[in-house]
Amino acid sequence: MHENTLILIEVGALLLGMSLLGRLALRIGISPIPLYLIAGLAFGNGGLLSLEASTEFFEIGSEIGVILLLALLGLEYTASELFTNLKHSRMAGLLDAALNALPGAAFALLLGWGPAAAVALAGITWVSSSGVIAKVLRDLGRLANRETPVVLAVLVIEDLAMAFYLPVLSALVIGVSLVQGAVTVAIAVAVVCLILYVALRHGHRVSRIFTPDHAEPLLLGVLGLTMLVAGLAAQVNVSAAVGAFLVGIALSGQVAHNAGQVLTPLRDLFAAVFFVFFGLATDATKLPAVILPALILAIVTMATKVLTGYLAARSAGVAVPGRWRAGLALTPRGEFSIVIAGLAVSAGIEPQLAPLATAYVLITVVVGPFLARIPDSTWFKLATRPSGAAGARPATGA
């Protein structure tokens, strides 16, 4: 069979299956993310049937999915709102690093993996998954909630911090000189500052490039600019997701509103592909050996991430239900954790780090969407209702 024909068959069959899984998730009232991941595991390495021909398609599609998820989140907010949230969330970013990176580093040292592996595992447990969380917030209808800007500020700070962290990790595990590492960090910081400056000061001019009245050129233009900036950002070791998010922030007015409408179907498609590819890229046969330590690490660091979100939302004046929503929404780890593990393992640091990171991320990605739904349950609303508010109906946007 011709390879292109096989790709069409594999992609078509998997997309059809994902549609059925999505309907099942809606029927039973859960996020479809865990079902997409399980589908990927079933047809990935060590699964029931390996889909080798279409792996490259899903890999590229997964990158586009993360970019679109963050770009459309950016369209929901203005540059001034982003600047205000980042300024108010500085302490939350420091708290996030302390509460979530230190447990990973300590865990690696307890396993006897050494300082380089400790730095790598610290990054794996520190950074939440922007892609997963963006989809969860959208699925649960929380984009307009008061705690959502706090969640986004934490995610953006984490992704920006990766501009510093990844070059430092590379210097440790690959042996890059301090001078080379410093140059890489300086370039990354300069690019982030440039993108932020354009988004904050000249976003209205960027919007004038596009016409909001015609869907096709608007779709092509905004998608093209988003992918271009994301690619340039990734080239200098800045998160492509950060670049895409800041493009969304830069756009405003009717352009932003209409761009969100035309890009939404593409986002839905490629976001689903992102989660399936994560499962496809996971070797299911290596997971049983590391499932127990990964579970322990996941329990500890999901708890610390909940505490991070709760405290960050409290400092922003969000009510108690919103604090819990913020904390529980931040629990999934994802794309960056896998990148960090791959970088460390390719340098020969610790072979067990990759399967541990995979099992850890899989646990948090599967459990995270379920945890995020807990604050919407009646029993939780009653438990977190302020004293003296008996009989009052809990506010959904607190």
398 residues of the chain, pLDDT tens digit each: 677 788 888 888 888 988 998 888 878 766 677 788 788 878 876 666 777 767 788 888 888 888 887 788 778 777 676 677 667 777 888 899 999 999 999 999 999 988 888 999 999 999 898 878 888 888 888 888 889 988 988 888 887 777 677 667 766 765 656 666 677 677 767 777 777 777 777 777 888 888 888 889 999 999 999 999 888 887 876 667 778 877 888 887 888 889 989 998 998 888 888 878 877 777 777 788 889 999 999 999 999 999 999 999 998 889 888 999 999 999 998 767 877 776 676 667 777 887 888 889 888 988 888 899 898 888 888 877 765 544 444 444 44
d(CA 398, CA 389): 14
d(CA 246, CA 240): 10
Backbone angles phi, psi at 196, to 5 degrees: -60, -40
- Give yes or no for a contact between 254 and 240, defined as CB atoms under 8 angstroms apart: no
Q: What is the DSSP letter of 97?
A: H
Please name which of 317, 321, 320, 332 lies closest in space to residue 376, comparing C-alpha atoms.
321
d(CA 33, CA 367): 10
Please name which of 173, 352, 27, 94 lies closest in space to residue 35, comparing C-alpha atoms.
27
Please name which of 27, 128, 92, 61 lies closest in space to residue 271, comparing C-alpha atoms.
61
d(CA 72, CA 48): 35
Burial of 213 (0-12, 13-18, 19+ CB in 10 A): exposed
d(CA 363, CA 341): 16
Q: Give the domains, in start order, of the chain with CATH numbers.
A: 70-213+223-253+287-378 (1.20.1530.20)
Per the structure block, which two tokens stand in for 375? 């604050």
d(CA 149, CA 66): 18
- What is the separation of C-alpha 330 from the centre of its chain, rounded to a whole number of angstroms? 9
d(CA 253, CA 108): 48
Scanning the chain, the segments in alpha helix (DSSP H) are: 3-28, 33-42, 55-75, 79-88, 90-110, 115-126, 130-139, 148-174, 178-201, 203-207, 215-235, 240-250, 253-280, 291-315, 320-329, 335-346, 353-373, 378-383
Location of structure tokens 């969640």 = 151
Scanning 89-147, the segments in alpha helix (DSSP H) are: 90-110, 115-126, 130-139
Q: Provide the CB-side half-sphere exposure for 312 (13 A, CA).
A: 37
**pTM of this structure:** 0.71
- Give yes or no for a contact between 34 and 369, defined as CB atoms under 8 angstroms apart: yes
Measured between alpha carbons, how far is residue 246 from residues 48, 192, 233 in Å?
A: 40, 9, 11
- Give yes or no for a contact between 89 and 153, defined as CB atoms under 8 angstroms apart: yes
